[in-house]
Amino acid sequence: MRWFGFGFNAFGQICVQEKSGRGESSSAPHQVKISHPAELSSHVDRSRCCLKTSQIRVSWSRRASLHLEGDSCLSLAGFGESVSSEDCGISKIESRGCKDLFISESHLTLAFPDRIETWDLQKREKSPSWSMDIKTDAEGSDVNLPLVPGGYIALKPPFYCTLPGHLKARSLALGAEHAVLLTATGAVYSWGLGSHGQLGHGGLTSEEEPRVVEALWGMPMTHVATGGWHSACISDGGDLYVWGWNESGQLGLPSRGLRKSQQKTSQQTGELCCDTSTPPDEKLKEEEEHEDVFISIQAFPALLDVSSSCEIRAVSCGSRHTAAVTREYGQLGHQTVTSSDEPQRVEFFRAEQMRVLDVVCGTWNTFAAAVKEEVACAENSTKCTC
């Protein structure tokens, strides 16, 4: 499985290596924007780590990669990490036995079979700033961060937060100031700041305690995701539901702010931005009459029709963008460099005959895990044509 990244790279989170004029490899953290998917460097210390990256977690300026094969290890890229042509900005952290990770701008949390450790990324101390012993269940299932036995790990101190005993959590997603929880039965709960409709309760009020998203009640969900101020979930049947802030079209719904921005850009560049067969005055009236179709805040979960011929298998949310992987084609439906309020497929993976398996959104960038089509077909024991 190979990981690719694109988007915001001002801190070297994506770590693309390019050939210099002399034919030597050099890191390129100076590239602020990477518009096409670029494969992440897999170079790590071979004496300490493996080369197989199984998980990636990101914050605004950092990326954490967990390498699993034999003894696991962790590598960091981005703000505050050493930059060299050899390791492409990735510094190593001793993390043998680590099974999962969770990163924010200030802290890195690691999950081990017997404990949880949180490291302060700003102080760079040689020991965890906080730790907690844990006991897994009888089957020895791994911790699914930010969930831990009895609660979850918050983005800032106090790190450990309890959950009501009646909530049998399967997964938990943390947004900028809200949380969305998926229970073992497929029900969705949310709490935290609700000013942008990100809780899905139909209003803009905040909730101090987990509250069930009633609009989704009776429809089992399999996955939840949160962004800065929006949320998403996938139903058992592969449908995608979205809600919250839509200022930049991150919900895939018509965005008035985005359309106005596009029109302004077109006018500045001298492009034709309207139908010349319609007089300007009448065109303005038509836009005003249909202004209510634009959605800046979607306070209830809305079913998003990404494609009529496929199901959604994974979704992730950034600050103002959303990415999804379809089950049929395994392609990435993601808002491209040009802002859009309609889902668009990233054609790179189709052109490379690759199948996307997972997607992770950072605040302003996206990471996708993909394999060659023949590998994916072999793993699924099915026949396919590329």
Residues 15-72 pLDDT 10s = 754 544 444 444 444 688 898 899 987 544 444 444 467 889 999 999 999 887 666 7
Query: What distance in Å separates the CA atoms of residue 157 and residue 163, rounded to the nearest whole number?
Result: 16
How many Å apart are CA 296 and CA 1, to the nearest integer?
Answer: 37
Distance of CA 34 to the CA centre of its chain: 17
Displacement of CA 173 from its chain's centroid (Å): 10
| Distance in angstroms (rounded) separating the CA atoms of residues 98 and 57 | 14
User: What local confidence, expressed as pLDDT, does residue 29 receive?
Assistant: 43
- Does residue 242 have a pLDDT over 90? yes
Contacts of 138 (CB under 8 A, 6+ apart): none
pLDDT band at 292 (very low <50, low <70, confident <90, very high): low
Percentage with pLDDT > 90 across the chain: 52
pLDDT band at 259 (very low <50, low <70, confident <90, very high): low
Residue-wise pLDDT for 209-236, tens only, equals: 999 999 999 999 999 999 999 999 999 9
Tokens 């190593």 sit on residue: 92
**Residue 151 CA neighbour count, 13 Å, CB half:** 11
Which tokens sit at 160? 């450990």
Predicted confidence (pLDDT) at residue 328 exceeds the cutoff of 90: no
Task: Tell whether the torsion through CA atoms of 334, 335, 341 and 345 is positive or negative.
Answer: negative
Q: pLDDT band at residue 87, thresholds of 50, 70 and 90? A: very low
Statement: residue 136 has pLDDT above 80: no
CB 192 within 8 A of CB 180: no
Residue 253: closest CA among 263, 242, 264: 242
Evaluate if residue 315 carries a pLDDT over 50: yes
CATH for 165-268+281-386 (3.30.70.920, 2.130.10.30, 3.40.50.720, 3.40.50.920): 2.130.10.30
Secondary structure of residue 91 in the 3-state scheme: strand
pLDDT, average across residues 129-138: 83
Residue 55 and residue 65 in contact, taking contact as beta carbons nearer than 8 Å = yes
Phi and psi, residue 290, nearest 5° = -105, 15
Q: What is the mean pLDDT of residues 69-92?
A: 61
* Buried b / exposed e along 269-297 (16+ C-beta atoms within 10 A): eeeeeeeeeeeeeeeeeeeeeeeeebbbb
* Whether pLDDT at 178 is above 90: yes
Could you tell me the two tokens for 125? 């101390």
Residue 113's CB is within 10 A of a number of other CB atoms, namely 13
Angle at 92 between CA 87 and CA 95, to 5 degrees: 150
Q: What is the mean pLDDT of residues 269-296?
A: 56
Predicted pLDDT of residue 257:
65
Side-chain half-sphere exposure of 290, counting CA atoms within 13 A: 9
What pLDDT is stored for residue 260 in this prediction? 62
Q: Where are the domains of the chain?
A: 165-268+281-386
Considering only CA atoms, which of 162, 223, 158, 221 is closest in space to residue 191? 162
Region 252-262: mean pLDDT is: 73
Sign, CA torsion 232/55/358/7: positive
Q: 19-33, 168-182, 253-267, 287-301: which range is least confident on average?
A: 19-33
pLDDT at residue 383 greater than cutoff 70: no
Q: Of 366, 359, 361, which Cα lies nearest the Cα of 325?
A: 359
Strands 188-192 and 365-372: unpaired
What is the three-class DSSP state of 377? helix
**Calpha distance 161→165 (Å, rounded):** 12
Does residue 233 sit in helix, strand or coil?
Answer: strand
**Angstrom distance (rounded) from CA 205 to CA 199:** 9
